[in-house]
Each structure stands twice: as structure tokens, then as C-alpha cells.
């Protein structure tokens, strides 16, 4: 039962974080082309104000719950070989850990990333994680 609850919490927190990235990369970037610079800055500041309270916490919850799910689902390594499922899970864990580390350093410690300052790479990572999740069910 605890696994199901943590899994649901994980999915919900990932939806919040992924929804933020989708909105930022697909909607707000399109708005930038249609609005004046002053109006775009105003809209972006409203968006940032609303998301700053929830999204970083959702990211931390997603990483912590994802670490638990990784621990439960990874299984044992047989004959020093990883299964396809374990390889895909390791890739997902790496991408999720990178997102979590970047988010925690940026939001909670004020350390801005040297590279990849936009939200495009995290958006791509989220898309990759979603696709890996779907392929893992097949393997």
C-alpha cells in the first residue's frame, strides 16, 4: 500500500513539474513573439511568482519519491549484467537526479547553472523520461 501511495505522489509531483516546463517552453515562448517586450516581462513575472512557490517543492518530492521507487524496482543484478529494464531505469534515475540537483541548487541555494540556463534541456529530459517510462513497460 505504501508503494502505491508513494507512486501516486511521484506521478502527481512530476505532473506539476512537467506542466511547468511545458507551459514555459511551449506557451510562454510563443507569447513572447506576440506580446510587446514590456507586456511579456509582466506576464512572465506573474507566471514566475505563482510557480516559484509550488514547482521547486514538487521537483524535490519527485526526486525523493523517485529515489524510493528506484530502490524498490531496480532489483538484483544477475551474472554481472543489467537487464534492459535496469538500464532504462538507470538512465531515468540519472536524468531525474540531474534535474533535481539543478533545481535544488538553483532555487534553494541561488546557484545559477553555468550551462543550459533556459528550461529547454530540462524539458527535453522530462520528455525522455516519459518515453523511457513507456518503453520500460514493454521490456
Q: What is the pLDDT of residues 78-131, one digit of tens each?
A: 888 888 888 999 999 999 999 888 888 877 787 877 666 677 888 899 999 999
Structural domain count of the chain: 1
Q: Note the pLDDT tens digit of each residue in 22-80.
A: 888 888 888 888 888 999 889 888 888 888 889 888 999 999 999 999 999 888 888 88
Q: In the prediction, which pLDDT does 116 show?
A: 65
Indicate yes or no: pTM above 0.75.
yes
Q: Which residue segment(s) compose the domain that 40 sits in?
A: 2-138
**Interior CA angle at 51 toward 45 and 52, to 5°?**
85
Q: What are phi and psi of 77, to 5 degrees?
A: -90, 120
Amino acid at each position: 500500500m505504501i508503494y502505491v501511495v508513494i507512486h501516486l505522489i511521484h506521478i502527481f509531483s512530476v505532473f506539476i513539474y512537467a506542466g511547468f516546463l511545458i507551459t514555459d517552453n511551449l506557451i510562454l515562448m510563443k507569447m513572447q513573439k506576440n506580446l510587446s517586450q514590456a507586456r511579456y516581462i509582466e506576464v512572465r513575472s506573474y507566471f514566475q511568482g505563482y510557480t516559484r512557490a509550488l514547482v521547486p517543492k514538487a521537483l524535490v518530492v519527485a526526486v525523493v519519491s523517485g529515489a524510493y521507487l528506484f530502490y524498490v524496482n531496480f532489483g538484483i543484478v544477475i551474472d554481472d549484467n543489467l537487464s534492459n529494464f535496469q538500464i532504462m531505469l538507470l538512465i531515468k534515475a540519472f536524468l531525474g537526479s540531474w534535474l533535481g540537483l539543478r533545481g535544488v541548487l538553483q532555487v534553494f541555494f541561488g546557484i545559477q547553472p553555468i550551462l543550459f540556463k533556459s528550461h529547454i534541456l530540462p524539458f527535453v529530459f522530462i520528455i525522455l523520461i516519459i518515453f523511457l517510462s513507456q518503453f520500460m513497460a514493454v521490456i
